[in-house]
Amino acid sequence: MTLDTALAALLLFSAASYLALGVRLVFANREVGTVPMSLLFVVISFWVLGGAIELLSTSYFAFSIGRTGHFVGSAFLPVVGYVCFREYIGKKTSVHRITMLLTIPIVSVILAATNYAHEFMWYLPATNELGQFLTRPVEWGPWFLFVHLPHSYLVIGAGILALLTHTTAVARSHRRGIFLLVAASVGPLGATAAYDLGYGPTTISFVPFVFTLMLPLYAWVILGEKIVQFSPLAFETVFQNMQDPVVVVDSDGRIIALNHRAEALLAVTETAAMFEPLNAVICDGSTEVFEALDTGEPRKMMTQTGRFLHVQVSEMDSDKATEREGKVLMFRDVSDVEKAQAEVRANEKMLRTLIDHSVNGIVRFRWEKENEKEGDEDSESKFLQCIFANSAAARFLTTSQEELVGASADEIVKLASNAMNPEESADIVNEFRSASTAAERIDVEIRHEAGGAGKWLRMIVEPFGDDIAVTFVDITDGKAKEQHMESIAASDPLTGVLNRRGFERDASKRLRDSADDATGALLFIDLNEFKIINDNHGHEIGDQLLTIAAKRLRKSLRSCDIIGRPGGDEFVALVPDVTPEVADKLAKRLTAALEEPYRIGSAAHNCAASIGLALYPKNANTLTGLLREADQAMYRAKARTRGAEHVHSDDLLEKAM
């Protein structure tokens, strides 16, 4: 491998890296400066690629392609950099200006691609006496010297100047990004200037190698420092977009700045008010402003339109002796606050009456020191004590308002949740403590009981200033309706037993809650002749038969057994806490009961049932496993009796293997 080939490979890798960096910015989250910055790296990629092609060229045509890539970079990079730098500091570049700036670069690229015909960009020959292609010509052409070169340096210089002049208008934390951008531009700009002035070799363009050396720096600036994610915001932009009127005066009381809100407040433009004494702009009746300036203490004033303003003054501190001193006046409109406070004061008695007669229970707690009664002022231990309780709260908690006021929050929460088990009540108390300490809102349901009557309460805890407010809402009726709806959703409307969803819910819970050594059984029942009866006699007869079958199931099994109808002519039953012998006895009793004729109207219908019996934990220890084993056993019993004229009861029952 020759040296030219190795250097070309290095430049190709650098060009690919710049292209990848640009593509990454394009597909990243849209931030200020992302698109121009990505185009910047794409243009650099073309420039470096052109240098690689120049090194590998063996013909003038290939060399011309490399030269064109060089001029694509040198022509478009200043314009893209200019737009990128301006957008970074928050200044948009109009489409019209961009179009004007791109005119000369486009012409330069066209002239470079066709230079052999006119020599406007550089004069021929393209090779030296050794036959090597010249990457810097012996003499530049008129278009390059008098149009392309001045345009490129003026545009990129304007972009860098915009960055540097912006440093004093942004926060110090944002100046680092601007200086990084300027520093990253110095190396390539200096190398390009040296190349244009005739320094360096004439057969190798060294500017692409400078970009290759700068690649780690650019990658660090973009990926490490994430410079495009932190666009600086000018102080002037912040100042003018503040919602409150702001006036800045110097040490002599003259106005040196005011924002748009202040212009509207004082009915004067910034230009007209500049360097005017403050007392000449603000009416003589506004003595509060000058009192605030003299004392440094906030003041409240009323405007001629009846609005209340809060006036606050702060000193302008500076660590530079050359900067003038002054004061900043901020006017905040507090009219709505004043009006609200006045209304609260005027209606406080009415509000208290409304709260006291509210249908919801309302309790207010205040933080008190634990050892305050003992006079321990240094104690940091605090607790919540009830300072107010309305009549509804006392009624809900079956006590008096006098008993509630003065009680601790823990005592009231325990009283409110006295119908819950001790562990659940303790969890509610702990949750209340955590939420109160963190000033967070919680909404929980609790159960209270007194005199044998229980009620469901919704307890809403939320901060109220420095205090904690608790609202109790009686949800007993809603809870009963909710439970009724859940019961309907889990029940079979025809037979009254559980449907598939309800059976799986209750049976799974029963199995989960069973002891490790618990035993039991699951029965899978199928009514053999149901389909024939239903088809021949109609759905009404079929529905009555299913209802009678469900009643026989309830009568034959125990009240603690869980019975369900998955669908059609099938029933299932979980028989917990029984030995295999007892389970077998219950299954046989059920088989006999279901063999009895079904008397519906004046007719009697025979509809025996095939039953599969699965034991747990012998056959399976999960509901899914028990259902599978019992279902298979039931189908074996059904197959054994299918087509038989005389069926014995024992043939209708099959145990899981």
Q: How far apart are CA 266 and CA 263, in angstroms?
A: 5
Instruction: Tell me whether strands 609-616 and 520-527 are parallel, antiparallel or unpaired.
Output: antiparallel
Is 491-655 the same fold as 3-229? Answer: no
* Token reading at 357: 């007669």
Cβ pair 360, 471 in contact under 8 A = yes
Please return the burial class of 328, using the count of CB atoms within 10 Å of its CB with bins 0-12, 13-18 and 19+.
Answer: middle
Least confident of 59-63, 227-231, 266-270, 340-344: 227-231
DSSP string, 512-530: HHS-TT--EEEEEEEETTH
Question: Residue 371 — pLDDT band, cuts 50, 70, 90?
Answer: low
CATH number listed for the domain at residues 357-479:
3.30.450.20
Q: Helix 539-556 crosses helix 580-595 at what angle (to 10 degrees)? A: 150
Predicted pLDDT at 228: 63
Predicted pLDDT at 321: 47
Q: Helix 539-556 crosses helix 530-537 at what angle (to 10 degrees)? A: 150
Cβ pair 72, 46 in contact under 8 A = yes
Q: What is the pTM of this model?
A: 0.42
Q: Could you tell me how many residues make up the chain? A: 657
Model confidence at 235: pLDDT above 60: no
Check 569, 577, 584, 631 and give the catalytic one. 569
Higher pLDDT, 307 or 230: 307
Model confidence at 475: pLDDT above 70: yes
Model confidence at 312: pLDDT above 80: yes
Question: Residue 322 — pLDDT band, cuts 50, 70, 90?
Answer: very low
* Token reading at 600: 């519906």
CATH number listed for the domain at residues 3-229:
1.20.1070
Predicted pLDDT at 272: 85
Least confident of 59-68, 223-232, 289-298, 641-650: 223-232
Model confidence at 652: pLDDT above 80: yes
The pLDDT > 70 percentage for the chain reads 89
* Token reading at 556: 């034959």
Per domain, the residue ranges of the chain are: 3-229, 242-337, 357-479, 491-655
- CA atoms lying within 13 Å on the CB side of residue 392: 17
DSSP string, 466-514: TEEEEEEEE-HHHHHHHHHHHHHHTB-TTTSSEEHHHHHHHHHHHHHHS
- SS3 readout for 115-149: HHHHCCCECCCCECCCCCECCCCCCECHHHHHHHH
Give the model confidence (pLDDT) of 97-144 as tens digits: 999 999 999 999 899 888 888 989 888 888 888 888 888 888 889 998
Cα Rg of the chain (Å, integer)? 45
Region 465-479: what's the mean pLDDT?
88
Superfamily name and number for 491-655: Reverse transcriptase/Diguanylate cyclase domain (3.30.70.270)
Instruction: Tell me whether strands 498-499 and 562-567 are parallel, antiparallel or unpaired.
Output: parallel
A 10 A CB-CB count for 513 gives 9
Reduced to 3 states (helix: H, G, I; strand: E, B; else coil), residue 537 is helix
Dihedral in degrees, nearest 10, Cα atoms 251, 253, 255, 259: 90
Dihedral in degrees, nearest 10, Cα atoms 252, 257, 262, 268: 80
Model confidence at 343: pLDDT above 80: no
Q: How far apart are CA 630 and CA 619, in angstroms?
A: 9
Question: Residue 55 — pLDDT band, cuts 50, 70, 90?
Answer: confident
Predicted pLDDT at 636: 92
Question: Residue 29 — pLDDT band, cuts 50, 70, 90?
Answer: low
Reduced to 3 states (helix: H, G, I; strand: E, B; else coil), residue 59 is coil
Question: Residue 526 — pLDDT band, cuts 50, 70, 90?
Answer: very high
Predicted pLDDT at 561: 92
Cβ pair 44, 213 in contact under 8 A = no
Reading phi first (left if > 0) and then psi (alpha if -120 to 50, else beta), residue 200 is in left
Q: How far apart are CA 134 and CA 121, in angstroms?
A: 14
Is 467 a residue of the active site?
no
Give the model confidence (pLDDT) of 395-438 as tens digits: 888 899 899 999 999 999 999 999 888 899 999 999 999 999 99
Model confidence at 467: pLDDT above 60: yes
Cβ pair 89, 166 in contact under 8 A = yes
Cβ pair 512, 576 in contact under 8 A = no
Predicted pLDDT at 203: 82
Give the model confidence (pLDDT) of 547-569 as tens digits: 999 999 999 998 899 999 998 89
A 10 A CB-CB count for 357 gives 10
Out of 3.90.1150.10, 3.40.50.2300, 3.40.50.620, 3.30.450.20, the CATH code matching 242-337 is: 3.30.450.20
Region 338-364: what's the mean pLDDT?
74
Tokens 């899978």 locate to 524
Reduced to 3 states (helix: H, G, I; strand: E, B; else coil), residue 231 is coil
Q: What is the residue-averaged pLDDT of the chain?
A: 84
Q: Which residues of 137-165 are buried (b: 16+ CB within 10 A; e: fewer)?
A: beebbebbeebbbebbeebbeebbebbee
Predicted pLDDT at 555: 92
* Token reading at 443: 């909404």
Tokens 């249908």 locate to 359
Predicted pLDDT at 337: 77
Least confident of 76-80, 171-175, 290-294, 640-644: 171-175
Least confident of 11-20, 311-320, 382-391: 311-320
